[in-house]
Amino acid sequence: MHEIITLPYGPLEACVYLIHLPSSTCLIDPAIRPENLPDGLPAIRWLIATHGHFDHISQADTLRRKTGAPLYIHTADHDYLLDPRLNLSMVIVGKIVYQPAEHKLTDGQILELTDGYRLEVIHTPGHSPGGICLLLHQGDKPIALFSGDTLFAGSIGRLDLDGDPAAMAESLIRLGKLSQRPGVADIPVFPGHGPATTLKDELLHNPYFKMSRTDLAESGF
């Protein structure tokens, strides 16, 4: 059995997620201080950033030191760790440079967790060049999607911070195609900010899925 724990944290309330498995824990978006983690968790063995903005990586170095777990980030956002302008720390809290990630992720990569669980990396640029979604599988069954700042309940990640509307449009198309896989459309979606949703509900009701590349570029979002 597994449990997904949601921990909104920080001034922008980025959602930190814990995938609590029987023998290990995977932490998605390392933005919480170690002392604010729940007690009694199995060892944290993975720290995965859905993208490189400060509100999602703010405690990456602290958590690495505390847990000994490596950091994973998509290769296209890796340099965000090293550049306070890219990671936006210089406009939020002051310039912060992080240590390089131990692992650079690529599209389609599978991260084998423990207890029969695995994460599939889905590259969804737009909000940032290296934004990813993570599809959690239990055996061969998809059971949850972590969408970072690509997809929110009723919205998407901002495009006015060096975002790319054309890339976001392609990423939304890709998520639409993802929903056609058996068992995926009805799974819960856990976004980088705000409440959980489902992919089916977003495809039906999220207005951004109906926008063209031009519409997104002109939305000013």
Total structural domains within the chain: 1
Give the pLDDT band of residue 216 (cuts 50, 70, 90).
confident
| Helical segments of the chain, H only | 54-57, 60-67, 89-92, 165-178, 199-205, 213-219
Average pLDDT over all residues of the chain:
94
CA dihedral 125, 53, 198, 121 (to 10 degrees): 50
Query: What pLDDT is stored for residue 162 in this prediction?
Result: 83
- Distance between CA atoms of residues 23 and 58, nearest Å: 26
CB-based contact 30:10 (threshold 8 Å) = no
Give the pLDDT band of residue 94 (cuts 50, 70, 90).
confident
> pLDDT, tens digit, for every residue of 146-156?
999 999 999 99
Please provide the DSSP assignment of 31-61 as one string. Answer: -S-GGGSPTTPPPEEEEE-SS--HHHHTTHH
- Distance between CA atoms of residues 2 and 14, nearest Å: 22
CB-based contact 115:23 (threshold 8 Å) = yes
- Distance between CA atoms of residues 133 and 186, nearest Å: 16
- Distance between CA atoms of residues 89 and 23, nearest Å: 34
> pLDDT, tens digit, for every residue of 37-57?
999 999 999 999 999 999 999
Query: What pLDDT is stored for residue 212 in this prediction?
Result: 64
- Distance between CA atoms of residues 114 and 26, nearest Å: 10
Mean pLDDT value of segment 64-87: 97
CB-based contact 46:40 (threshold 8 Å) = no
For residue 218, the number of C-alpha atoms closer than 13 Å in the C-beta half-sphere is 5
> pLDDT, tens digit, for every residue of 120-133?
999 999 999 999 99
Count the residues in the chain.
221
Chain centre to alpha carbon of residue 74: 10
> In percent, how much of the chain has pLDDT > 90?
88
pLDDT above 90 (res 1): no
Which residues constitute the domain of residue 205? 3-219
Find the CATH number of the domain harbouring 195.
3.60.15.10
Largest CA distance in the chain: 49
